Structure 1
């Protein structure tokens, strides 16, 4: 699997999403996509990030940008997460981890000396033509959504 770099075509996906629908990257031709990968629904950092993207969703829409969050959690868990926190963003489910692998965000991690596989919090800003224009890896949540919004507005 190759590393994703700026100006390369974003890997396509077609995945189940909240509300029993599916989401396909090609559904958003002509719009920018802020695609953020996060480890797990309803954990503190992931909840903060999803709420912050929701709080700025009108600003993203004004910048012709759709926000999609993706984790390996099942759709049922996404639906509960959205209802609990009144989220206004698309949440895609990649239980097979094919898209997580394609974007190279499914990584070996370590906590308290234990190694395990998990999602490296990352965001990719994809332009109207489906090319990755900016990427953030090993994201720290505070200030991140504002950085992504600013980049989307400038693109």
Structure 2
């Protein structure tokens, strides 16, 4: 798992809006990088709806928010259209960002072990370093906790 103070690995991934997102192109402002498990699952829907609902507050702070999962762009387009997400969803089908951020790990569900994305959100500061690591153990309220941390980080940076 990446730790606070480490350089955030750069990535370029296609998004659900027909473009691509390159982390280093956003230097100069903080970025929330939300790793979620899978399009269409209840927990991921709730988490992304909360980030979307708070998008205006993140924008007001000058913080960009992106969601990343291993599904392809078409899956993201359907998921985003169904839920009207305000933030882009990035397709990491080759798991480059998942592995660089150490969120592609062994999971266990109903006694079955498999590899998958664990729910973790990183706050990357304006200089490209990890400023916060948030494990999504509690889905409801996760986005608000990240927003509160972003506010505190920006206040400390002043």
Structure 1 length-normalised TM: 0.96
Cα shift at 1:138: 4.4
Q: Determine the structure 1 residue equivalent to 2:156.
A: none
Output the CA distance in 1 between the equivalents of 2:52 and 2:77: 15
Output the CA distance in 2 between the equivalents of 1:120 and 1:58: 26
Q: Determine the structure 2 residue equivalent to 1:55.
A: 53
Q: Determine the structure 1 residue equivalent to 2:103.
A: 105
Mapped pair 1:135 → 2:133: yes
Q: Deviations over 1:81-108 (max 9, x none)?
A: 1111111101110000011000000000
Following superposition of structure 1 onto structure 2, how do residues 1-155 of structure 1 map, counting pairs within 5 Å? 3-155=1-153
SS at match of 2:113: strand
Is contact 2:49-2:83 (8 Å) kept? yes
Is contact 2:136-2:142 (8 Å) kept? no
Cα shift at 1:139: 3.1
Give ranges in structure 2 of 5+ residues lacking alignment.
154-158
83 and 100 in structure 1: CA distance in 2 versus 1, 3 angstrom threshold: same
Give ranges in structure 1 of 5+ residues lacking alignment.
none
SS at match of 2:17: helix
Cα shift at 1:137: 2.4
Cα shift at 1:61: 0.7
| Alignment length (residue pairs) | 153
104 and 52 in structure 1: CA distance in 2 versus 1, 3 angstrom threshold: same
Structure 2 length-normalised TM: 0.94
Output the CA distance in 1 between the equivalents of 2:137 and 2:75: 23
Cα shift at 1:23: 0.6
Output the CA distance in 2 between the equivalents of 1:123 and 1:137: 6
